[in-house]
Amino acid sequence: MRLLARLTAIAAPFLPMAAQAQSTAGSGPIEAALFWIQGTMLGNVATAVAVMAVAAVGFMMLTGRLNWRFGATVIIGCFIIFGAATIVAGIQSASG
């Protein structure tokens, strides 16, 4: 009987179990900080900066002073930042 108890104790960590719910007691300040970062990244100031960056990149590309690949990277980066919510929603709907 002791052998069976020892084998069970050794094998227990490797058996699949239901995930335990974690406490959300201290998540208020963290969640507020993350929402602040999201608001800053997607707010009016960020939109204005992105418009100016795309305009500057476009002007430099037209005058031949910028590598086209770098300019495309800046523009695609803006699309990813502002379309992140839509991209995540599409991935979630495709996965399940």
pLDDT means per 10 residues, the chain with 96 residues, are: 61 56 67 86 85 91 87 88 87 88
The reported pLDDT for the residue numbered 7 is: 54
What the block records as the tokens of 86 is 């839509």
In the chain, what are the domain boundaries? 40-96
Structure-block tokens of residue 88: 């995540």
Compute the distance between CA of residue 65 and CA of residue 59 in angstroms, rounded to an integer.
Answer: 9
What's the pLDDT score for residue 93? Answer: 92
For residue 41, give the nearest of 89, 80, 82 by alpha carbon. Answer: 82
pTM value is 0.54
Please give the backbone phi and psi of residue 12, each rounded to the nearest 5 degrees, phi first: -55, -45
Q: What is the DSSP letter of 24?
A: -
